[in-house]
Amino acid sequence: MAYAEGSPALQSAFRPGDQRWMVTVPGEGGRSEQLALWWLPQPAADAPTLLYLHGTFRNLYENLPKIQALRQAGFAIVAVDYRGWGDSTAIVPSEATISEDARVAWVELVKRQPTPGRRVVYGHSMGSATAVSLASTLHVNVDYGALVLESAFTRLPDVAESAGFWGRVGAAVTTLEFDSLSRIGLVDAPIVMLHGSNDRTVPIDLGQRLREAAPRGVRWVPVAGGTHSDLQLEAPELYQRTFQALIARLPRPIEPQSEPLLKPPRP
């Protein structure tokens, strides 16, 4: 695993108790493929747990600054490198394979967080579309407690069109939709959306359009001067406040029921 055998500086980013492992998933033509998963727990066993779905340009190792910021806010994290990224099997990914990989990671999260309301689905950039797709099949407090979208868009062709002439050409021929616009209305959990005003990859107006299509009550967090991938570095205090406020609104963990004390019988 090339990335997992990285530099000492990379390895120092992990804490005792962190886990990185592979699971075998079915691939094209019946072959077996490998999917890389991470489990990054918190010292407190009842910490809320976040499913981290990354974007197109960076694998999990390259996303460590953002992952560390989310841990700092108080989340335990299950993260996945879709096939085609990081330590996972090198394939030409599709929307279907990415969605399948996110579902595998979700199953792993459910194993580790017994309280549905303390599960959070998070997606950045392309991962936001994967997060919306997953969340649209779940139900608040039955399956999870909240959805967080960072640098999100309506549909992938809209992102391509915003890139100018050649982007519009690409939009005309792409087979990838990542259509959050048609799915966001099915999400019944609280939604938090963060977007940088200076995002040149996914213009903020695409995030605003997605917010307008979502059910009412979205917490919209624009980041003045923020770019596409580094909001946690560009506005660290706002970033931490946003996620800590979300954690504060999640349902509390289920307390174990104690047996009632029985009074001794009267003599």
Q: Which burial class, exposed, middle or buried, applies to 227 when counting CB atoms under 10 A from its CB (0-12, 13-18, 19+)?
A: middle
The label of the residue with tokens 């605003």 reads: 208
What sign does the dihedral 37-34-93-29 (CA atoms) show? negative
Nearest to 111 by CA among 81, 136, 76: 76
Convert the pLDDT of each residue in 76-119 to its tens digit: 999 999 999 999 999 999 999 999 999 999 999 999 999 999 99
pLDDT in tens, the chain (267 residues): 455 555 565 677 899 999 999 999 999 888 999 999 999 999 998 999 999 999 998 999 999 999 999 999 999 999 999 999 999 999 999 999 999 999 999 999 999 999 999 999 999 999 999 999 999 999 999 999 999 999 999 999 899 888 654 344 344 434 578 999 999 999 999 999 999 999 999 999 999 999 999 999 999 999 999 999 999 999 999 999 999 999 999 998 766 555 555 555 555
- What order of strands is seen across the sheet that includes strand 219-223? 19-26, 32-40, 76-81, 49-53, 119-124, 146-150, 191-196, 219-223
CB environment 161-200: b (16+ within 10 A), e (fewer): bbeeeeeeeebeeeeeebbbbebbeebbbbbbbbbbeebe
Backbone angles phi, psi at 56, to 5 degrees: -75, -40
The label of the residue with tokens 């549909």 reads: 155
- Answering whether pTM is above 0.85, one says yes
What sign does the dihedral 179-151-106-254 (CA atoms) show? negative
Q: How far apart are CA 81 and CA 90, in angstroms?
A: 11
Q: How far apart are CA 150 and CA 152, in angstroms?
A: 5
Across-strand partners of 150?
124, 194
Q: Which burial class, exposed, middle or buried, applies to 266 when counting CB atoms under 10 A from its CB (0-12, 13-18, 19+)?
A: exposed
Q: How far apart are CA 159 and CA 127, in angstroms?
A: 14
Q: How far apart are CA 151 and CA 223, in angstroms?
A: 10
Write down the domain spans for the chain: 18-249
CATH of domain 18-249: 3.40.50.1820
